[in-house]
Amino acid sequence: MANIKFSQFTAEADINNFDDIVGYAGAVNTRITPANLASSLITLSGGPYLPLTAGPTVPLTGDLNLRATNPAATSGSYAVVFNGVGDGPTFNAVVGGKIFTVDSTIAPNGQDLVFEVADDNGVLKENMRINAFGQVGIGTNNPQFNLDVAGDSQFGGVVTFSDTIVINNDISDTTGTTGQIGKILAAQSSGVEWVNGYQLVQVFQWNNGNPVAYTNFPPGQPPGTNTVSFLPFNPTPSLETNNLPSGTTISNYGWTCNNTPGGDAGQIAAFTLGGNGGGTWLIRTGQHWFDQNTFVDVNCDIVISPVGGGPSTTIRIVNDRHNDGDGDKLMYGELFYTFDAGDVVQVQIGFSNYGTTPPPISNPFPSDQGNRPLEVSFEKIA
C-alpha cells in the first residue's frame, strides 16, 4: 500500500470552500463531502457536540429544539444548561442553572416548565415552576393560583388589588406587632402601625338661656301653626369618649359645633364632621319637655348638607303628638348615616300647638327650670 504524504496545508474556515476529502475506514477509502461533514456534526450523530455561537450579529434563525428524555413514555425535555465557575481558590466548574420541562400530573398532555438555580453549595434547587395551567409557583412546585408564593415577599412599589383580599394569618405592622381585636392599621409617623380603632362618642346639649326653644310660639298664632326652631347648643361636648390613636386631634375625627344667628330660636347650630371622620355614624336625639300644659305636636329633623355644596337631605327622626295635657314628655330618635368628612348637620325642632286657648296662644312649655330639653349624640360605627 502506497503512502500519501501531505507537504503543505492551508487553513480553511469556510466549509463551503472544501472539495471532497478522503477518509480511511479500514481497508476502504471513503469520500466525505462537505454536506456529509456538516450533517454529521449538526445532528451530533455519534460525534462531538457542536458548540453554538449566537449573538446580535450571528443570530439563530430557527427554533432550538430539545428532544424528550424518553420519547417512548410520558416525560419532559432535556434542559437548557447554564454553566458557571465557582469562587476561588479552586474555581470549580458548576452548573449554575437549568430550564426544562417535566410531564404534568394534572393535564393529560401538559408540561410544567421548571427553573432550577444552584444554591451556595452548588446544588441545583427548583425556584420557580409554571404548570400546565399557566399558574406560577415561586418557592413551591405545586402552585394553586395564578401566582402562588411560598415564603416571605417584599414589594418596593405600589400594590393594587382589584378584588377581595383573603388573609389566613396575622398581619404585622412596621414595628413587628401583630393585629389585635379592636385595633386597625393606620399610617403613623414611624410607619404603618396597629392602633386603637377610630371610634368616638360626643354628646352636645341645648343651651338654657335667651332666646330658648320653649318660647318659640309667637303670640296670636292659631292652633296648629307649625314653628321650626334652630336650637342653640353648647359647643363644648357634655360627654366625649374616644378610642383613637394617641396624639390624635379629636376634632379631626369627630364633630364640632358652631352657633350662628338665625332661626326662630335665635341661633342655628351647625355640627361639622372633621377632616378624617368620614364613615358611618349613629346620631341620637333625646328630648325632655317639662311642664307641658296643652296639646302639642313635636318633631325633630336632621338636615345634612354635603361638603362642597349641593342639595341638602332632611330626615325626620321624631314625630310625636301628645294629647294628654299636663306632664313631662320624653322623646327619642336615632339615625344611621354614612357621612363624608366635612359634612354639616343641623338639628331642627318643629312645634305645632293644638291648644284651644284663644289668642294669645299659651306656650305649652312655660318653664325651663332644671330643664335639659334636648341633646344630640354622635357615635362613630364604622
Give the end of a domain, one of 122, 149, 176. 149
Q: Are residues 330 and 209 in the same domain?
A: yes
75 belongs to a structural domain: no
At residue 45, the pLDDT reads: 44
Distance CA 233, CA 207 (A): 5
Copy the grid coordinates of residue 317: 327622626
10 belongs to a structural domain: no
Question: Are the C-beta atoms of residues 114 and 131 closer than 8 Å to each other?
Answer: no
Give the end of a domain, one of 149, 175, 207. 149
71 belongs to a structural domain: no
Give the end of a domain, one of 117, 149, 181. 149
Q: Are residues 351 and 204 in the same domain?
A: yes
pLDDT along the chain (382 residues), means of 10: 55 59 60 56 47 78 86 86 85 90 87 93 93 94 93 89 86 85 74 79 82 54 73 90 79 92 81 91 86 72 92 92 68 93 92 61 54 82 80
Q: Are residues 143 and 210 in the same domain?
A: no
Q: Are residues 281 and 351 in the same domain?
A: yes
177 belongs to a structural domain: no
Q: What is the bridge-based pairing of β-strands 191-196 and 183-188?
A: antiparallel
Q: What is the bridge-based pairing of β-strands 239-243 and 344-353?
A: unpaired
Q: Are residues 22 and 120 in the same domain?
A: no
**Secondary structure letter of residue 245 according to DSSP:** -
Q: Are residues 235 and 96 in the same domain?
A: no
Closest alpha carbon to 293 in 363, 198, 190, 381: 363
At residue 122, the pLDDT reads: 87
Q: Are residues 128 and 26 in the same domain?
A: no
Q: Are residues 126 and 214 in the same domain?
A: no
**Secondary structure letter of residue 48 according to DSSP:** P
Domain that holds residue 92: 80-149
Question: Are the C-beta atoms of residues 113 and 107 closer than 8 Å to each other?
Answer: no
58 belongs to a structural domain: no
Q: How many domains does the chain fold into?
A: 3
Q: Are residues 204 and 286 in the same domain?
A: yes
Residue 153's identity, in one-letter code, is S
CATH code for the domain in which residue 326 is found: 2.60.120.40
114 belongs to a structural domain: yes
Q: Are residues 339 and 247 in the same domain?
A: yes
Distance CA 67, CA 77 (A): 6
9 belongs to a structural domain: no
Closest alpha carbon to 231 in 217, 211, 203: 211
At residue 27, the pLDDT reads: 60
pTM: 0.51
Q: Are residues 309 and 356 in the same domain?
A: yes
Q: Are residues 109 and 257 in the same domain?
A: no
11 belongs to a structural domain: no
